[in-house]
Structure formats: structure tokens, C-alpha cells
Amino acid sequence: MSRLQEITIANHTLPNGNTHTFHFTYQVVGQPLHSAPIVLVNHALTGNSEVAGDNGWWNSLVGYDKVIDLNRYTVIAFDIPGNGYNKQQAHLIEDYKAITTKVVAEVFWKALDRLHIDHLYAIIGGSLGGSIAWEMTFIRPQAVDHLIPIATSCKASDWLIGNALIQDSILNNSSQPIEDARMHAMLLYRTPASLQQKFANGYKESESQYAIESWLKYHGQTLNGRFTLQAYKLMNHLLKTIGQEVTEESLKAFGQHTNTKIHCIAVDTDYMFTKAEQEYTVALLKDNCKHITYQEIQSIHGHDAFLIEYEQLNNLLKPLF
């Protein structure tokens, strides 16, 4: 399969006027570069560049003879700079509040330029990755055939910004910051009905705690084992920066200037990125955009449904691939 490759983008100018040199990793799977249509997969908050293969976080979608078929496409996935995937201290970003999703999008384009890629068949991503896909298409509205943002939005809502603030406060003040922040976040990714269906008020006598408590603590401990505090602070912070410069006017102008076919996919019960946000974006763009569609995943599981309801998602995506 793929191997982890490194790339450096030097002296990139940040919104605060400072410059930063980004070191990050990426993986290429499927067909050799420049021999087939290229699909860029942007990972979600706790994801990484390993999208396919035995340990691939999206291997229900990306693989040989899967919907995004590696027999037919070249798939590239970048690690969001500072996500700490390769465990190198030099790749972490200390001043995390200086980074935005637009900065990540700019750096991804610079990396693609370095690989001599100026056109993409598709950019696809769920959650934070989908937001970065939006930002990338805003920057180069003629360079992408298909934009596929899933369970996401092109602009952070007040609800999301508020939750990111609480996460940041936990990460900076808790004695076990990653574990506590992750437990809170898990409740944002699911719904009350989803958890009720999963646990039904079950109690684990051997642990002297409710099953939901056991599950939340497990997820907290698991993430603590694979994430550094600095990386998690950055990834959480990025959520509140989504679409900071986006206005109704800029969206309409983008719609008039882009040839990209936009395929929005929402989750009907998502309250991290609500379906109403996606519907609003589509309504704004549909009079100005040559091609935009809206589809829904039906699920009681909320935001995480884009990873859980893979059969529904595969069926929605098959016509595009």
C-alpha cells in the first residue's frame, strides 16, 4: 500500500502577519500520480492520512473495488499540519490560535503545486475535512471538478464556536485534558436517541458505573494514547475558524465564478453541523451555481453517522465515482 511521505512548506504567511514553516505528512494510494484522475481526501478532527488499507479510517469507502476505487483513481490524503500523526515534535504547532482552516487549505494547495497537481477530480471530506474542502474550492474555484462536503459546513455556527471554546477551556485547565475534552466531544458527535439505543441505561456491576460512563472514559483514554495535547488543541481550534471570511456575498460570488459541481451531504440528526446549515448554503448557491445538489444520510446517530452509515454514504457517492 502507501508509505508516509513528508513535505515542508516554508515561510507561509499567517493571518496575523507572521510566517510559519509547516512540516507535515501525506500518503498516496491507488494509481501512480499523473496516471489517473486524482481524488483528495481530507480527514476529520481525529483522523489522519491513512484512509485506505487494513487500518484506514475510511476503508469502507476508499479501496480496491470500493466506491472510490483505487483501480481507477489516485487518492491523496494530507495530514493536517500539526495533527501529530507521525509523532514528530518538530511538526507540532505551538501557536495554534494563529492557524485557521483557510491557512490549512492554502498550505494544501501549495503542497499539491509541489507535486505538480493543478487540477483535482474531487475533494471529499467529512466534518472538519469537509470544511477544509470548501476552503480549498473557494481559493481555486476552477481547479476542482467535484466538491463533496459531508456532515460539515462552509462557516462555523455559533453553536460550534461555543463548543470549541468549552473544549479549549477543558484542554487548558483540566488535570487530564485530552480525556475530559474527548468525553465532552463524544456527546456532541452523537444524539440522545443514539446513546439510549446503544446503552439502554445499562449498568456495569464489575466497574460500578453506567455503561455510558464506561464508554465515554474508554474513548477519552484511547484518544489520550494517540494524541498529544498540543495537536488536539490545534485541531479543536480549527473548528471555530471555519469560513471566517465567508459572507453571503462572497458565497454568491463564488457560485458565479466556479465550474465545480458541488454535492452537499448532511446527516438529518447532526447537531455539530446541522442539516439546516447545509440547506441554507445550498439555497444561497443554487441560483448562482451551475451545479449543486443536497442529499441526506438518515440516522439516529447524529454527526458520527457519516462514519457509521457507510452503506447509505456509499450509495449516495456511487454515481460520482
Q: Which of 187, 126, 131 is nearest to 156 (CA)?
A: 131
The contacts of residue 212 (CB under 8 Å, 6+ apart) are 195, 198, 199, 202
DSSP track, 239-265: HHTTTTT--HHHHHHHHHH---EEEEE
The residue behind cell 507540532 is: 92
Domain 159-238 has CATH 2.60.40.420: no
pLDDT at 136: 98
Q: Which residues of 74-113 are buried (b: 16+ CB within 10 A; e: fewer)?
A: bbbbbbbbbbbbeeeeebbbeebebbbbbbbbbbbbebbe
pLDDT at 87: 76
Count CB atoms within 10 A of the CB of residue 205.
6
| CATH 1.10.1740.110 residue ranges for the chain | 159-238
pLDDT at 1: 54
Q: Which of 220, 272, 238, 216 is nearest to 83 (CA)?
A: 238
The residue behind cell 470548501 is: 134
d(CA 41, CA 49): 8
Which triple of cell numbers denotes residue 199?
446503552
pLDDT at 90: 66
Where are any strands of DSSP class E within 31-142?
38-42, 62-63, 68-69, 74-78, 120-126
Backbone angles phi, psi at 85, to 5 degrees: -60, -40
Q: Which of 155, 168, 122, 185 is nearest to 273 (CA)?
A: 155
Q: Which of 140, 120, 139, 112 is nearest to 246 (CA)?
A: 139
DSSP track, 11-42: EEEPTTS-EEEEEEEEEEEESPTTSS-EEEEE
Q: At what angle do helices 177-189 and 229-240 cross, to 10 degrees?
A: 40
Low-confidence ranges of the chain (pLDDT < 70): 1, 90
pLDDT in tens, 27-47: 999 999 999 999 999 999 999
CATH architecture under which domain 4-157+243-320 falls: 3-Layer(aba) Sandwich (3.40)
**CA distance to 21, 107, 132, 240, 264, per residue, from 281 (Å):** 33, 25, 15, 18, 9
| CATH 3.40.50.1820 residue ranges for the chain | 4-157+243-320
Q: What residues are annotated to the active site?
A: 127, 270, 303
Note the pTM of the prediction, 2 decimals. Answer: 0.97
Look up residue 171 and give its amino acid: L
Look up residue 69 and give its amino acid: D
3-class DSSP state of 92 = coil
pLDDT at 68: 98
**CA distance to 93, 182, 230, per residue, from 83 (Å):** 9, 15, 8
